Structure 1
Amino acid sequence: MSQTAPEDLRNADPKRRIIFYSHDTFGLGHLRRSRALAAALTEGDDHASAIILTGSPVAGRFTFPKGVDHIRLPGVTKLADGSYVSQTLGLDIDEITALRAGLIKTAIEKYEPDLLIVDKEPSGFRGELLPSLEWLRDHGNTKTVLGLRDVLDEPEVLAAEWARKGAVAATEAFYDEIWVYGMHDVYDPTKGLPLSDAARDRMHWTGYLRRETTDEVDLPQHPYVLITPGGGGDGAAMVSLVLEAYEKDPDLSPNAVLIYGPFLSGDVRDAFDARVEKLNGRVTAVGFDSRIEALFVGAEGVVCMGGYNTFCEVLSFDKRAVIVPRTVPRLEQWIRASRAEELGLVRMLDETRDGMTADAMIAAIRNLPHQNKPSEAGADGLLDGLDVVIKRGRALMDGTA
């Protein structure tokens, strides 16, 4: 009896295997985006499965759809001076990067994906993805995609950052396609980058990634404004301003439901809880809810920061929103919020124009019912991202792209 070689078994296997790389040194954005993409590419396809490689310290708090799993890479923490250290292992940054790089390469070699989708960082955190990209170039038939959110940073700053990281060279050398999860007429995240015409010919504008809710959550029985700083790590100033607005104006309505996010904790969270307690139920607060989509659905309006995932939720659930964008360490959120305001999709609370005062926040919340919904400015036409991703992803895996 003849025996079938292992590689023949793999070639006969009809399953479509996808790996997502999401460096996630901090925050929730990359992980949540990869999770939404993995769900879309595997849903309804019994032959598809996906693994998300992530450094997010809160990956274990999320549920993952059928056919999707994750591998948690050892975490790193960014210090005040901009340097990184191992989150828990006591290794220096070169040691922890080498460990992560080895784990990534082993996962790719053993899983043998048909498709690798890399989120935002062409060469990975501190170049940790390069050994895997070089291996894939020399072995197998894995298709590679670089996925970019709609805005990365202001062009001059981004060009300098990508030059320092060798990101342009990595993009040119290793990626079959570049997907931009946005619309060209809203913003071009590659503006200012010296990409070749050949690389730009490989770009596909997907549109924004529509979000849906399938989880049942007990929602407040009264009207409410949802307050969300996303992951929360940089949201203390916005949360404090909202609380100050409710403290200053006893008639401000509707009530607020505040989701701190998993990274807003410790003494800062304790101080906010004490202020919430004194508001006698006009503001209620919880730490983190991975099913936040359901809270969006029930909200009268939203006050939020300007991260990509939150913006997609505002558009998807057609919510009147006031966006309070951060401006450091990068202008990504401000650029997104200002363009969205120009298009009539949201209202932005701008530090220079409006002032970050309780009165400005009171006025913004009071004006929410009078804002247009995003759909009235044509938001539905922006939300085809997942459909395009499914089409492009399956074409690449099936060899029909």
Structure 2
Amino acid sequence: MRVDEASPAPRVLIYSHDTFGLGHLRRSRAIANAIVARNRGARATIVSGSPVIDRFGFAPGVRTVRLPPVTKFRDGGYASLDADIPLARTVAQRSSIIVRACEDFRPNLVIVDKEPAGFHGELMPVLEAAASRGILLVLGLRDVLDDADRLVPEWERKGAAETMARFYDEIWVYGLSRIHEPLAALPMEAEMAARIGERLIYTGYLRRALPEPRADREEPAIASGPFILVTPGGGGDGAALIDWVIGAYEIDPGIPLPALIAFGPFLDAETRERFGARIRRLAGRISAITFDSEIEFLMRKASGVVAMGGYNTFCEILSFDRRAILVPRTEPRREQAIRAQAAERLGLVRVLMEADGRAPERMAAALRALPDQSEPSRVLVPGLLDGLDAVARRVRALAGAALESSCVRAFS
């Protein structure tokens, strides 16, 4: 094939380590779906450690490979989800599966989500092989990683900056620099900073759309009228938010809209049952579901949203133009708080910090005021939701560059 012929359809491998929650998987799914929708004949494979990946639908042309799952503790430590298997053995199994998936799929582009070397370095064999075979590599970063005092020692320990400079052709930040610059705090020598800086692209946030609904989709009765959606994402660290909202309804019968709480698949059963008992005493004012893999439909219908402020939920709030109260977590990372407070300064959301007090009256006052908040669209932020279009454009360009590189090697 001549280098001036049309480039082939992109073949994109997306690595998502997924040690906690749903954020990485949902971001990877949005990117993969957009790639195949915007590039004729494109195919994508998501390699993910999420234990609930089979509960999500994906666009035609997107397949998934599941890695043995690991779990993350609140202190930042990790273990195999199967407690009988040593973590080192699980990492070795995961690394072998990733290598095999790459060999079978033969991508011309690999997009790595957040971790430059993968979880515990499990991606290094793929990075080494890709570099030797001319497969282009992209590191995709959410808009905020963490506070500098937490991020810097972690990334220095992992050698993340060196890995970025050595292997990655481009670094995409799925956000805007005016909200946050996730790599600005990393101490780097001038030469390395320049190399990384020239590869850095801010795409804008990833716009979300309604998925194709499942044929058997059902929604709770409360969603047939005005309601507030309360979503702590995966739910593994969302108990405090749910407790605060239920407490507000318990002390204030005058909150104008009922609430629908989506517990999330990782909220433990005992806690969920305790919340369920309280919710049953508030029948008609609060309803709850365990999980909705198509939560975009509920987000679009809701009159307002109460959430923790994870990346994907924030994108959905912007995409569906929902009034929102964010209650960001601050442990083990401050990522959500940094994002939420930057968004509040722009007038996009309202923020309640738990550190300022968890009195139910504070939440009740915010819920009362929620219907009168301004929608995010009232604030003009250029390029705010251009992320998926930017990603699709870069995939086309990089796929063509990969073809040219392979042809040059073939004839050299």
Same fold flag (TM > 0.5): yes
Once residues 262 and 323 of structure 1 are traced to their aligned partners in structure 2, the CA distance between those partners, rounded to angstroms, is 20
Q: In 1, are the aligned partners of 2:49 and 2:68 still within 8 Å (CA)?
A: yes
Once residues 289 and 39 of structure 1 are traced to their aligned partners in structure 2, the CA distance between those partners, rounded to angstroms, is 19
3-state SS in 2 of match to 1:328: coil
Q: In 2, are the aligned partners of 1:155 and 1:190 still within 8 Å (CA)?
A: no
Deviations 1:281-314 (A, max 9, x none): 2111000001100111111111111100000001
Residue 307 (str. 1) matches residue 300 (str. 2)? no
Q: In 2, are the aligned partners of 1:27 and 1:263 still within 8 Å (CA)?
A: yes
Give the Å deviation of 1:89. 7.1
Alignment match, 2:319: 316
**Aligned counterpart in structure 2 of residue 292 of structure 1, from 278, 291, 295:** 295
Residue 258 (str. 1) matches residue 261 (str. 2)? yes
Deviations 1:317-368 (A, max 9, x none): 0011000000100110000000000000000002344x22100000101111
Alignment match, 2:407: none
Alignment match, 2:145: 152
Alignment match, 1:3: none
Stretches of structure 2 that go unaligned for 5 or more consecutive residues are: 405-412
Give the Å deviation of 1:265. 2.7
Alignment match, 2:175: 182
Deviations 1:233-288 (A, max 9, x none): 10000000000111111221200111111111310001111111110121110000
Alignment match, 1:369: 371
The letter of the residue matching 2:24 is: H
Alignment match, 1:61: 55
Once residues 111 and 195 of structure 2 are traced to their aligned partners in structure 1, the CA distance between those partners, rounded to angstroms, is 19
Residues 44 and 202 of structure 1: is their aligned pair in 2 closer, same or farther, counting only changes over 3 Å? Answer: closer
Deviations 1:62-107 (A, max 9, x none): 0111000110000112345543222127321111111111111111
Residue 171 (str. 1) matches residue 174 (str. 2)? no
Give the Å deviation of 1:26. 1.2
Residues 178 and 80 of structure 1: is their aligned pair in 2 closer, same or farther, counting only changes over 3 Å? Answer: closer
Once residues 257 and 190 of structure 1 are traced to their aligned partners in structure 2, the CA distance between those partners, rounded to angstroms, is 37
Once residues 153 and 84 of structure 1 are traced to their aligned partners in structure 2, the CA distance between those partners, rounded to angstroms, is 18
Deviations 1:191-241 (A, max 9, x none): 211252011110000000000003445552221001000111100000000
Pairing 1:2-401 to 2, within 5 Å after superposition: 14-79=8-73, 82-88=76-82, 90-139=84-133, 141-193=134-186, 194=188, 195-216=192-213, 220-353=223-356, 355-379=357-381, 381-399=383-401
TM-score when normalising by structure 2: 0.91
Q: In 2, are the aligned partners of 1:315 and 1:379 still within 8 Å (CA)?
A: no
Once residues 374 and 304 of structure 1 are traced to their aligned partners in structure 2, the CA distance between those partners, rounded to angstroms, is 15
Once residues 194 and 129 of structure 2 are traced to their aligned partners in structure 1, the CA distance between those partners, rounded to angstroms, is 26
Stretches of structure 1 that go unaligned for 5 or more consecutive residues are: 1-6
Q: In 1, are the aligned partners of 2:14 and 2:110 still within 8 Å (CA)?
A: yes
TM-score when normalising by structure 1: 0.93
Once residues 394 and 291 of structure 1 are traced to their aligned partners in structure 2, the CA distance between those partners, rounded to angstroms, is 28
Once residues 12 and 283 of structure 2 are traced to their aligned partners in structure 1, the CA distance between those partners, rounded to angstroms, is 49
CA RMSD for the aligned pairs? 2.0
3-state SS in 2 of match to 1:168: helix
Residues 191 and 156 of structure 1: is their aligned pair in 2 closer, same or farther, counting only changes over 3 Å? Answer: farther
- Higher alpha-carbon deviation: 105-114 or 19-28: 105-114
Once residues 17 and 89 of structure 1 are traced to their aligned partners in structure 2, the CA distance between those partners, rounded to angstroms, is 36
Q: In 1, are the aligned partners of 2:323 and 2:371 still within 8 Å (CA)?
A: yes
